[in-house]
Structure 1
Amino acid sequence: MCEQSIEIAVPASTANLGPGFDSIGMALNRFLRIRAYPAERTELELIGPHLQGLPQDGQNFLLQVVEDACRSVGQTAPPLRIQVESDIPLMRGLGSSASAIIAGLLLANHLLGEPWDREEILLKATQYEGHPDNVSASLLGGVVIGSWDGERVDVVQAPCPDWDVVAAIPAYPLPTSQARQALPSQLPHNEAVLASSRANLLTAAFFTGKWELLQTAMRDRFHQPYRASLIPGMERVLREAPQNGAWGAALSGAGPTVIAFARETKPLVAFMREAFGQAGTPVHIEVLKPWPEGATVQLTTFEKWGTFMGNI
């Protein structure tokens, strides 16, 4: 007996990129993948080390997104067997929660007969996340600049660059809530003007490809100075990365991962490893790429619980 399953792949993301606070995101070539099959009762299988310890019942965040989305239109999610695999580390500032939101909404949209287009999915995702940077990059791919006023979300995609993204990923997590607590409630007017001008310059650099502007454009005033104490070594990396092979460097999202856009990858990797090592911050270095494509949805016909399951 042949039945239909659904496969969804959602890229990771890095957000802010310096001064683009809660508004600029970039998709990266790490992925959350789910496969969902018809079942008699809902089962969740988590595959890979990045998902260890997460709940496999109704407390799972992805399942909650699916159920909430179905409930919003007066429907109940059908029972499914869902396999989840991810190479996006949790609570490291690489968009793990945003990828789960997008995956859950895309799965719910399929189950409901696709009532929502991408704009509506982005709006729902932004409502969940509270800002559009990670979710828009994961949904649409590439570099996305967005604005959210609590009711309306507007986004524009910039050309996707082709340089390497060197990510120094600390061994410890940093919950976004903790990183938010480090921020001031207000900025002096002159600081806000400077921060805004650098965000403008950052946007211009992505649309013109004038990467030499990133050394100045990524010098944020909105959030990075206040979060530096949470990630020993970050301050030095942000300051000295342009002299060691980077176009510019930034805290990825709320952290603790620090990213640098590579002009010369090898010396940049060596510098970031040495800088964090001297600061006593254990990091894993990965060389990533901006990912031009957004989330994908693929339908697959399989012989019930047979051939398709065996290919995992």
Structure 2
Amino acid sequence: MGVRVVVPASSANIGPGYDAFGLALGIHNEFEGELAAAWGVEVSGEGAGSLSADADNHVLRAMAHLFERTGRPDLRAEVVCHNGIPVGRGLGSSSSAIVGGLVLADALAGSHLDRRAIFEMAAALEGHADNVAAALYGGFVITSDGPACTHIDPAGGIAAIVVLGERELSTHQARSVLPGFVPHSDAAANAAHAALLAVGIATGQPGCVAAGMFDAIHERYRALLVPDMVTVRELFEAIGAGPAVLSGAGPSMLALVQAENDERALERARHLAEVARTALGEVGRGQVMAVPVDRHGARIV
């Protein structure tokens, strides 16, 4: 019997929360699978023709890992991936694949692992925890080495505006431009901004969110790889959409919109996205999306 798993996109860092903050977004990958005599994978949608269709595919690797860890290394599966998350744009496509593979394998094997165990496996496979935590738990997450994770269901209404990068940017490349050390003043500023942002999302206070979405330790260096980053940020502030930050390693950018409920927040995000879409077309950033925050995370449907 087949199983279908839906996993959201995710935005990591969100400005000052470098390698610590993650937010699940309402763009999804779907993975359908059933046990079979041999491994097989088919990819449609985003990444079709470029993502691996062999054993090194992220979904299959994650499934094989869980089968091995749960004492069923003999299991194999055929999987169909319906991808809605853009690849290599800072929206957690690889984390979605890893989480989707683990949840799918857990269901097919009947191993009934809790989410903490799946989270630890996903973080080990991905190499860091922020994106996988958001994809698995939904909502807003704070992660640290260990790995440890705190999940927060955002208070009030919240939605996001995503300015999609026109080209792929690998996390490895984006990390390569970062310095080995940052000044104490920058680290202190980031700690303050991260605290404000987390409080704002947890309590629904828009003033805290707007004040907190400023980074001092990674975005200025990654601007070398995302040359229109400052232009996008200034335009978003000018149209009243608030500060825009890199989504993950970039090149996509993200702004947060708050209101009394999610429906109103998404409605406001759509209006601002339309305004931004017209203005950003002049700098080649015409693909702007208003998306809800996914509060549920990975789920079997």
> TM-score of the superposition, structure 2-length normalised?
0.89
- Write out per-residue CA displacement over residues 156-180 of structure 1, whole angstroms, 9 at most, x where no aligned residue: 3142553331111122100110000
Amino acid at match of 1:156: H
Structure 1 unaligned runs (5+)? Answer: 299-312
Q: Distance in 1 between matches of 2:213 and 2:148?
A: 24
Deviations 1:60-112 (A, max 9, x none): 12111111222234431523221110100000001101101101111222233
77 and 216 in structure 1: CA distance in 2 versus 1, 3 angstrom threshold? farther
Range that drifts further, 91-100 or 129-138: 129-138
Distance 1:83 1:74, change over 3 A: same
Q: Report what 1:269 is aligned to.
A: 273
User: Is structure 2 residue 2 aligned with structure 1 residue 10?
Assistant: no
Using the TM superposition, give the Cα deviation of residue 25 of structure 1 relative to its aligned residue in structure 2, in angstroms: 0.9
* 1:171-212 Cα deviation digits (max 9, x unpaired): 210011000011111011111111111001111111221112
Q: Does 1:297 align with 2:300?
A: yes
Shift of 1:274: 5.4
Q: Which amino acid aligns with 2:296?
A: E
Q: Distance in 2 between matches of 1:133 and 1:160?
A: 20
Q: Which runs of 5 or more residues in structure 2 are unaligned?
A: 259-267
1:58 alignment partner, SS class? coil
Q: Which amino acid aligns with 1:86?
A: N
Bigger drift between 121-130 and 46-55 goes to 46-55
Q: Contact (CA 8 Å) 1:95, 1:134: kept in 2 or not?
A: yes
Residue in structure 1 matched with residue 247 of structure 2 by the alignment: 252
| Structure 1 equivalent of residue 265 of structure 2 | none
SS in structure 1 at match of 2:104:
helix
Q: Does 1:37 align with 2:29?
A: no
**Aligned counterparts of 2:273 and 2:228: Cα–Cα separation in 1:** 14
SS in 1 for 2:163: strand
Over the aligned positions, Cα root-mean-square deviation in angstroms equals 2.0
* Deviation at residue 236 of structure 1 after TM alignment: 2.4
Q: 1:143 to 1:161 in 2, by over 3 A?
A: farther
Deviation at 1:135, TM superposition (A): 0.9
The equivalent of 1:180 in structure 2 is: 175
Which letter maps to 2:272? L
The alignment status of 1:162 with 2:160, answered yes or no, reads: no
Q: Is the 8 A contact 1:234 1:276 kept in 2?
A: no
* Matched residue type, 1:144: V
Match of 2:63, SS state, is helix
Q: Any runs of at least 4 consecutive aligned residues in structure 1 with deviations exceeding 6 A, and if so which? A: none
Counterpart position of 2:114: 117
TM-score under structure 1 length normalisation: 0.86
**1:1-312 paired onto structure 2 within 5 Å:** 4-148=1-145, 151-159=146-154, 162-262=157-257, 264-265=268-269, 268-270=272-274, 272-273=276-277, 276-279=280-283, 281-298=284-301
* Identity in percent: 33
Q: Give the 3-state SS of the residue equivalent to 2:287 in structure 1.
A: strand
Pair member with larger Rg: 1
